[in-house]
Structure formats: C-alpha cells, structure tokens
C-alpha cells in the first residue's frame, strides 16, 4: 500500500481483510487488543474495556475509507468535526505515531489512547470505560480552553448520563460532548427548554437508532447478496471449468482420433509405397535380366553375323567359281549343240543318200514290175480291196494322167492294180545334195506298182539292196516320193517329218500329188499301208525339206499309222467338207495324235474338196471352231483346184522352222526351257 509519504508499508495481517469488510474487519482488529485486554484485566476495570471500544470506534471514524491505518491527512479531516485546530490534531497524531512512520496502526492508536488515559487518570473499576472516553474527550476539549465543562457538577453529570442511558444514545451518538455542553447550557440558562430539548434528543436518537438498524439490515442483505453472488460466481466458475475440461477432453479425443486416422492413412500409404517400391524393384530386376539376356543375345548375334559374313564371302567365292564353271559348261554346251547340229545335218544328208540308193533300186524294181504285171489279173481276185468311190481299185488307172490336165494319160489305162504299194518319184534334191545322181529330174515319172507284198514295199523277188530300206529315223519306208521342186538353188537347211492322217477318201493322196506335182488325178485308188513324198520349200530364205508320210485312212491300217506319230515333227489331219462323218472323225484322229505325242507337235487341220461347195456338209465355222479349241492351224483347201495346198503347208513349215529356231535359242540359253509355240493363226 502506498503511504502518503511514498513509502511502501505492509498492511497488518489482521486489518488486511479489505475495505468491504466494514465493521467485521474492524472486529478482527480487536484481536491484538484482546491480548492487551487480557494483560490489563488484572490491573484495570471494565471501564478500560469501554475505553478500548471507544478508541476502536474513534479509529474507525478516522479511517473512513477502511484502509486499516490512519494517515496524517485522515486526522486533519477531523478538524471540522472536532473542536481542535489543525496544529492540535497534528500534535495528537505525532503523539500517537510511536514509531514516527507517518501513519497510525490500530495498535498504535489504542496503545496511545491507553497510555494517555492511564498516565492522566486512575479511575474506579466500575466506570472505567466511560472514564477513559471522558478523559480523552476532556483532554481534547481542554485544549480548546473550555473551562465551563470543568464546572459541571457531579449531579448534572449523573443526570445527563441517566438521560443518555435512557435514550440509548451511546449506541447511536459517537460524540456526546456537544450534546452534553448544549444540555448543560440549556439547564443553566433556559431550564424551561430542557424538556423540549430532551424530547428532541429522544426523537433524534430513536430516528438514529432506526437508521442504524436499517443500515445493519442493509449490510446483512448486502453480505447475503455478496455471498450468493460469490456462490454463483463460484458455481459459474466451476461450470465453466467443467465445460472447459470436457471441451478440452473432446478436443483431445478428436485430436487423437484425427491423429490416429491420419497415422493409419499414412501407414496405408507407406504400405502402398513399399509395395510399389517392391514392384519397381522386381521390374528393375526383370529389366536387368532382360538387358543381360539382350546383351548376351547381341553378342551371340554379333558372332553369328560374323560367321554369316564369312559364310557369305565363301558363298560369293563359290558362286563366282560356279558361274565360271557355268560359263565353261555353256561354252561346252554350245560347242556340243553345234556338233549336234552338224550331226543332224549329216543325218539329213544321209536320208537323202538313202533316198538316192532307193532310187537306184528303181530300175530293178521296174523290171520286176513288168514281170509281175502279167500276174495282175489273178492277184486282183486275191487281194482286191473294194473302194467306196465309183472307180474303186478296179477303176484305178495304172498310168497317170498328164500333169496339170487331170485327165487320163495318153498311154491308156493299165490293168488295175490291187493296191498301190510303192510309187517312186524322183526329186531333184538328191542330185543337188550329191552331184553324182545320173538321172535328170525332168525324166522323173510316176508309176503305179501292183505288188501287194506288204505295206513296206517288201517284194519277195526284189534284189538285195545296197542300203537299208528303212529311213535314217528308223521308220518304215513305203513309197518314196521325191517331189519335183521348183528349181531349188541350194541344199535344204533342215528336214521335218510330217504325218498325213484322215478318214479314207478325204483326199490325202490327191492333196499330196497336187502339192508335190501340182497335178490332180481323179479316181485315185485307196492308199495301202503307208506312203511318203519329200518336198523342199523355201521358207523365209531357208530351204526346208518336208518328208510327207501319206497314211491309209482305212480302219484296218490304223495301228500302223499310230506308229508313225511318234517320230513326227508335225501332223496334218484332213477331213472332207462334203462328208460330215469325216469331220466327226477328226476328234478321234486328234486324240490318237495326242495319245502318241501329247501336244508336242503342231497340227494342221485341212478341210478338203472346197471346190465342191454344192455338196458341203461341214460349215467353215465348225472347222474353225474345232481348230481354235484344239490350238490347230486351219485351212480349207482343194486338191482338185490346188487352192490353199501350198499356203497351208508353207504355214506349217514356217511354224516348224520357227519352233526349231526357238528351241535352239532356248537350249543355248541355259535355264530357260523351250515352250511349245501356238501354231494356229
Ligand atoms: N472334187 C474333188 N474330188 C477329190 C478331191 N481330192 C480327191 N478327190 C477325190 O476323192 C477320191 C479319194 O481320193 P484319194 O486321194 O484317194 O483319198 P485318200 O484320202 O488318199 O484315201 P485313202 O488313201 O483311202 O486314205 C478320189 O476319187 C479323188 O478323185 C478334190 O479336191 N475335189
Ligand atoms: Ca506509526
Ligand atoms: Mg490315199
């Protein structure tokens, strides 16, 4: 507490109950006084107790603010209420302030009063209290120099005390001195007013008492209120604390829950991350494994590549070597082919030589012919073959008609031969090939032979031949017909064998005669067995000899005909366009050809007797269609008029020549097999 002089003073414990304590606080202050009282009980009377109470009351008056001590200022405030000057009050304060610290504690105050009282008086024990108060008051009033009070008699004093007791003024009046002075003054000067004054005092005091009680009641109510308020505050405080506590707990709980959830979540995440990590590790391991494998593979591949490169180099070397060898082989092949070509040509020449030798036999045979002619009549009966034509074999002229006329020759009809076996004709070619041939070509004539000694011209009485009667290709030779060629300037470059087939009487023999001799003989006898002619053509500036094999169309010779297909270079199938049946047979002929040689050889389809348009039974379209279907060369011709005879054979010869050229080229070009060329068109 800040003292007026600025010093800090600790307030006495007993008085520190607060200013709000009021009288209760003052009561507590009595404790030290109690001990004092106990000490003084033996030596002082009950008046002392009164004095102490007075001192206490006076202290409270001075300490209006309830500080628990009295400052010099508090004392000076009494100046208006007490009949003392400021100086006098100062003196009183100094006297009471035993330790001189500038303020008075209740103990100092009371002790001061006691000293003052006991040093001045020695009152009786009965009214000690009143004596103390009175002495004190007297001292105060004495300082004012009031001598009248000192004159007041003991009676008056007793009277006044009785009056005060009666009124109970002690309880309400703090200071009776003024009242006492006034009462004494009235009693002395205006005694008749005394009763009025007393009444007035009575009323005043009773009012004061009432006010006092009321004040006490209010104080009590206030205390109760304060207590209730305190209680309420306490309650509220407790409630608040409880609430805070619960909220705190809740918060903690929530916090814990949140923390737990968070930690669980984090744990979960951690677990996930760990798994991911594990997976990644595994993946990495796997990739590492793959990497290693790939690395290994790479090495292996490298090694293999090196190996392959080496192999490649080796192969390249080998290829080079092989290509060299191949070139060698090709060169060899070429030379071989050239040799083969030479051989072929030689063979061809040989054929002609054979033809020549046969030619030499002619003379002998002619002699035999003369000899045999005498027996012809008999033989006709034995071997005669009926001819479907009106002439038949019997009607067949032994002497040919003159070339180009188509009419019987001037020699008149010979006795009819049973069949034609050999018809030897001379061809200029042998002479060209070998200049040693004696007979001139112009003398060549055709004669009919009447011998029936087999289809291969085997004549029993024939003289032994110098040369073999078979052709160089090992095939039977029937009749050698060397067609008269229009003055061929050089030896043939190549030779092709062509087999002529078709039903009987379609005109095969007539066609060949027309082609070779440019003649037509009506009433030609049916061919027996097989016959052949040779004719050289100029095809694109090269001499091509055609060996034309004329077969018998009659059914009985089919097996012989079949043999000839095998070595044929080309085939001619003929039908008679005035004979439907002959056309229908074409398919059968074609299949025979195919059976023997496949589709290797070109086929020329000829529809003969175009001159006899009136009796046509096979339309041209049918023939064309058949040719297209079977990839054939097709012509309609006439042996009678010579129409298309040469053209058709030239076509075939050209085709054969070109085919052979192609084959040769292909053979030279190794690795490119020859293909069969389409012959039609
Ligand atoms: N109008 C006409 N008649 C022909 C023609 N060609 C042949 N002839 C006649 O038809 C008949 C048969 O002629 P050949 O030449 O013997 O018939 P082929 O096909 O040789 O008969 P085979 O030898 O039995 O197979 C003869 O009477 C010929 O005169 C022709 O172009 N026109
Ligand atoms: Ca003091
Ligand atoms: Mg014939």
Nearest atom of ligand 1 to the alpha carbon of 611: 32
Determine the distance separating the centroid of ligand 1 and the alpha carbon of 565, expressed in angstroms: 22
For ligand 1, whether the C-beta of 508 sits within 6 Å is yes
Q: What is the rounded CA–CA span in Å between residue 535 and residue 531?
A: 14
- In percent, the amount of the chain with pLDDT more than 70 equals 66
pLDDT given at position 434:
35
Q: How far is CA 152 from CA 169, 173, 175, 231, in A?
A: 20, 21, 18, 57
Cβ of 609 closer than 6 Å to ligand 1, yes or no, is yes
Q: In this predicted model, what pLDDT tens digit does every residue of 152-188 receive, in sequence order?
A: 678 888 888 888 888 777 777 777 788 888 888 888 8
Q: Calculate the CA 392 to chain-centre distance.
A: 93
For a pocket test of ligand 1, which of 388, 510, 514, 579 has the largest count of ligand atoms closer than 8 A to its C-beta? 510
Ligand 1 contact, 507 CB (< 6 A): yes
The answer to whether the CB of 523 is under 6 A from ligand 1 is yes
- pLDDT classification of 628: cutoffs 50, 70, 90: very high
Using a 6 Å cutoff on CB, does residue 184 contact ligand 1? no
Residue 332 confidence (pLDDT) above 90? yes
Catalogue the E-assigned strands of 592-655.
Answer: 603-608, 633-636
Give the per-residue pLDDT at 655: 96
Distance CA 230, CA 220 (A): 15
Residue 55's CB: how many other CB atoms inside 10 A?
Answer: 23
Atom of ligand 1 nearest to the CA of 523: 27
Q: Is the CB of 610 under 6 A from ligand 1?
A: no
* pLDDT confidence tier of residue 22, bands split at 50, 70 and 90: very low
State the average pLDDT for the chain: 73
Q: Which residue has the tokens 């007393």?
A: 198
| Cα–Cα distance measured from residue 166 to residue 202, given in angstroms and rounded to the nearest whole number | 9
For 182, the token pair is: 């006034």
Which chain residues have CB less than 5 Å from ligand 3, an ion? 508-509, 527
In angstroms, what CA-CA distances link 266 with 256, 259, 279?
15, 10, 19
Instruction: Name every residue whose Cβ is closer than 8 Å to that of residue 494 and which is 6 or more positions away in sequence.
Output: 344, 348, 542, 543, 544, 545, 657, 660
Please enumerate in sequence order all residues whose Cβ is within 8 A of that of 605, keeping only pairs 6 or more positions apart, or say none: 572, 573, 574, 575, 586, 623, 626, 627, 630, 632, 633, 634, 635
Ligand 1 pocket member 439 (CB < 6 A): no
Identify the residue with better confidence: 377 or 265: 265
Cα gap 604→249, rounded to integer Å = 125
Considering every ligand atom, which ligand is closest to the CA of 12? 2
Rounded to an integer, what is the distance from CA 593 to the centroid of its chain?
66
- Reference 169, options 121, 203, 135, 192; nearest CA is 203
**pTM across the whole model:** 0.40
Q: What pLDDT score was predicted for residue 516?
A: 92
**Long-range CB contacts for residues 334-338, cutoff 8 Å, separation at least 24:** 334/668, 337/664, 337/667, 337/668
> Which of 36-45, 57-66, 192-201, 481-490 has the lowest average pLDDT?
481-490
In contact, 632 and 605? CB cutoff 8 Å? yes
State the DSSP H helix or E strand holding residue 104, giving kind and residue range, or none if neither.
strand 103-104
pLDDT higher than 60, residue 379: no
Task: Name the token pair of 241.
Answer: 């604390």
In this prediction, residue 294 carries a pLDDT of 94
pLDDT tens-digit readout, 184-229: 888 888 888 888 888 888 888 888 888 889 999 999 999 999 999 9
> How many Cβ atoms are within 10 Å of 616's Cβ, its own excluded?
17
Q: What percent of the chain has pLDDT over 90?
A: 37
533 near 514, Cβ under 8 Å? no
């Amino acid at each position: 507490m800040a003292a007026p002089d600025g010093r800090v003073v600790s307030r006495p414990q007993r008085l520190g109950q607060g200013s709000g304590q009021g009288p209760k606080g003052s009561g507590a202050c009595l404790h030290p006084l109690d001990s004092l009282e106990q000490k003084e009980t033996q030596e002082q009377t009950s008046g002392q107790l009164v004095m102490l109470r007075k001192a206490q009351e006076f202290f409270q008056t001075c300490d209006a603010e309830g500080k628990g001590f009295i400052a010099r200022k508090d004392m000076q405030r009494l100046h208006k209420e007490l009949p003392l000057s400021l100086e006098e009050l100062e003196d009183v304060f100094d006297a009471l302030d035993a330790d001189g610290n500038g303020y008075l504690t209740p103990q100092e105050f009371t002790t001061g009063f006691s000293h003052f009282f006991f040093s001045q008086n020695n009152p009786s024990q009965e009214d000690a209290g009143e004596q103390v108060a009175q002495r004190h008051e007297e001292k105060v009033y004495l300082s004012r120099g009031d001598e009248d009070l000192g004159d007041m008699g003991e009676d008056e004093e007793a009277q006044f005390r009785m009056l005060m007791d009666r009124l109970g003024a002690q309880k309400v009046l703090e200071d009776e001195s003024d009242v006492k002075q006034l009462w004494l003054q009235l009693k002395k000067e205006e005694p008749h007013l005394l009763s009025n004054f007393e009444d007035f005092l009575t009323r005043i005091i009773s009012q004061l008492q009432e006010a006092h009680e009321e004040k006490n009641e209010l104080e009590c109510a206030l205390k109760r209120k304060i207590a209730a308020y305190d209680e309420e505050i306490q309650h509220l405080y407790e409630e608040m604390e409880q609430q805070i506590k619960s909220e705190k707990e809740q918060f903690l709980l929530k916090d814990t829950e949140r923390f737990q959830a968070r930690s669980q979540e984090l744990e979960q995440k951690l677990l996930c991350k760990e798994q991911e990590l594990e997976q990644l590790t595994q993946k990495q391991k796997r990739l590492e494994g793959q990497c290693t494998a790939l690395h290994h593979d790479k090495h292996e591949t490298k090694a293999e590549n090196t190996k392959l490169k080496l192999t490649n180099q080796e192969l390249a070397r080998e290829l080079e070597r092989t290509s060299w060898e191949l070139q060698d082989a090709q060169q060899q092949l070429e030379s071989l082919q050239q040799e083969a070509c030479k051989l072929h040509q030689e063979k061809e020449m040989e054929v002609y030589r054979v033809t020549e030798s046969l030619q030499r036999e002619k003379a002998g045979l002619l002699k035999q012919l003369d000899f045999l002619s005498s027996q012809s009549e008999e033989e006709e009966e034995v071997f005669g073959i009926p001819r479907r034509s009106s002439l038949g074999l019997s009607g067949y002229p032994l002497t040919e008609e003159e070339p180009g006329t188509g009419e019987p020759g001037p020699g008149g009809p010979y006795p009819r031969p049973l069949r034609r076996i050999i018809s030897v004709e001379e061809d200029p070619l042998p002479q060209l090939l070998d200049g040693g041939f004696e007979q001139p070509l112009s003398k060549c004539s055709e004669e009919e032979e009447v011998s029936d000694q087999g289809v291969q011209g085997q004549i029993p009485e024939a003289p032994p031949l110098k040369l073999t009667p078979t052709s160089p290709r090992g095939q039977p030779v029937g009749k050698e017909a060397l067609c008269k060629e229009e003055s061929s300037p050089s030896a043939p470059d190549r030779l092709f064998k062509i087999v002529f087939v078709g039903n009987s009487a379609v005109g095969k023999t007539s066609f060949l005669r027309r082609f070779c001799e440019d003649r037509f003989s009506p009433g030609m006898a049916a061919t027996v067995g097989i016959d052949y002619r040779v004719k050289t053509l100029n095809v694109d500036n090269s001499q091509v000899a055609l060996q034309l094999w004329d077969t018998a169309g009659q059914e009985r010779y089919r097996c012989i005909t079949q043999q000839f297909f095998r070595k044929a270079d080309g085939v001619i199938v003929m039908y008679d366009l005035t004979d439907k049946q002959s056309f229908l047979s074409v398919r059968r002929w074609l299949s025979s050809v195919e059976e023997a040689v496949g589709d290797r050889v070109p086929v020329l389809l000829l529809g003969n007797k175009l001159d006899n348009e009136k009796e046509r039974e096979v339309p041209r379209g049918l023939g064309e269609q058949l040719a297209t279907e079977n990839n054939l060369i097709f012509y309609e011709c006439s042996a009678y008029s010579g129409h298309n005879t040469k053209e058709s054979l030239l076509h075939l010869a050209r085709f054969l020549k070109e085919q052979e050229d192609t084959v040769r080229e292909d053979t030279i070009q190794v690795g490119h097999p020859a293909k069969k060329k389409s012959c039609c068109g």
